């Protein structure tokens, strides 16, 4: 598996808001859910709302945060996803789950399927002749979290619950998908 790097210069609005200088930044977070990794590590899914005030100008941005803790419980990485990317992540989880079910029967030595977000959250799976593993990697983290394939619906649910929570807090997306 390749290292996660952002080569397109894209950044989430959340990341841009978090690095604002010369303004008041208010950050609110809520933990939505947790997924146990295969090696004693954890993935946390939460909401993040960023408000920025500079003079009379005020703006807000909504998104989700995905964090990873290692097996000792130490948080080692967090990445963000804008509200507009959430549906894309859900579609990727669905595609990964379906591919993970169908690929093992195909005569290949190695197959890898993955999705990478703007903030370099990488989720996917690999399949070899003898095994198959779902993984999630965050930029700057010390490791990759391996997740049981049976936990993908739980991950999907936490992501959708986070989106719903953001909606309840007033988030909206122009030109949103159904």
Domain-by-domain residue ranges, the chain?
A: 13-168
Architecture of domain 13-168: 2-Layer Sandwich (3.30)
Q: Give the per-residue pLDDT at 174.
A: 57
Residues 115, 107, 132, 160: is their CA dihedral positive or negative? positive
- Extract the tokens encoding 133: 């593993």
Burial of 82 (0-12, 13-18, 19+ CB in 10 A): buried
CA atoms within 13 A on the CB side of 37: 20
Q: How confident is the model at residue 99 (pLDDT cuts 50, 70, 90)?
A: confident
Nearest of 120, 145, 144, 147 to residue 134 by alpha carbon: 147
Q: How confident is the model at residue 15 (pLDDT cuts 50, 70, 90)?
A: confident
Label the pairing between strands 110-116 and 42-54: unpaired
- pLDDT digits 0-9 by tens, 120-130: 999 999 988 77
* Helix or strand (DSSP H, E) at 42: strand 42-54
* Helix or strand (DSSP H, E) at 144: strand 144-147
Q: Give the per-residue pLDDT at 108.
A: 74
Q: How confident is the model at residue 22 (pLDDT cuts 50, 70, 90)?
A: confident
**Nearest-5° angle of CA 158, CA 4, CA 9?**
95
Range scoring the smallest mean pLDDT among 54-58, 90-94, 166-170:
54-58
**Nearest-5° angle of CA 79, CA 81, CA 84?**
175
Q: What is d(CA 65, CA 81) in angstroms, rounded to the nearest whole number?
A: 6
Average pLDDT, the chain: 85
Q: How confident is the model at residue 162 (pLDDT cuts 50, 70, 90)?
A: very high
Helix ranges, the chain (H): 13-18, 86-102, 152-168
Q: Give the per-residue pLDDT at 5.
A: 40
């Amino acid at each position: 598996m390749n290292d996660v790097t952002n080569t397109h210069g894209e950044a989430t609005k959340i990341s841009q808001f978090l690095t604002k200088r010369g303004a008041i930044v208010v950050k609110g977070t809520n933990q939505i859910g947790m997924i146990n990794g295969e090696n004693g590590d954890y993935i946390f899914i939460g909401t993040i709302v960023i408000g920025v005030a500079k003079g009379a100008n005020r703006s807000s941005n909504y998104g989700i945060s995905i964090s990873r803790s290692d097996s000792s419980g130490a948080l080692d990485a967090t990445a963000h996803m804008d509200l507009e990317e959430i549906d894309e992540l859900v579609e990727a989880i669905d595609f990964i789950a379906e591919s993970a079910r169908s690929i093992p029967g195909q005569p290949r030595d190695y197959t890898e399927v993955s999705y990478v977000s703007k903030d370099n959250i990488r989720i996917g799976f690999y399949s070899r002749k003898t095994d198959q593993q779902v993984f999630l990697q965050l930029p700057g983290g010390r490791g990759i979290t391996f997740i049981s394939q049976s936990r993908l619906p739980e991950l999907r649910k936490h992501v959708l619950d986070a989106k719903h929570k953001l909606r309840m807090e007033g988030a909206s997306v122009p030109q949103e998908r159904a």
